[in-house]
Amino acid sequence: MNQLKELLKRLWKDESGQGATEYILLLVIVVGLAMVFKGKIMEIVNAKLGDLGGSIGSFTSQ
3-40 pLDDT, tens digit per residue, is 888 887 777 776 665 677 888 999 999 999 999 999 99
Whole-angstrom distance, CA of residue 57 vs CA of residue 11:
54
Query: Rounded to the nearest 10 degrees, what angle do helices 38-61 and 17-36 cross at?
Result: 70
Average pLDDT over every residue of 37-59: 89
| 3-state DSSP assignment of residue 44 | helix
Its pTM stands at: 0.50
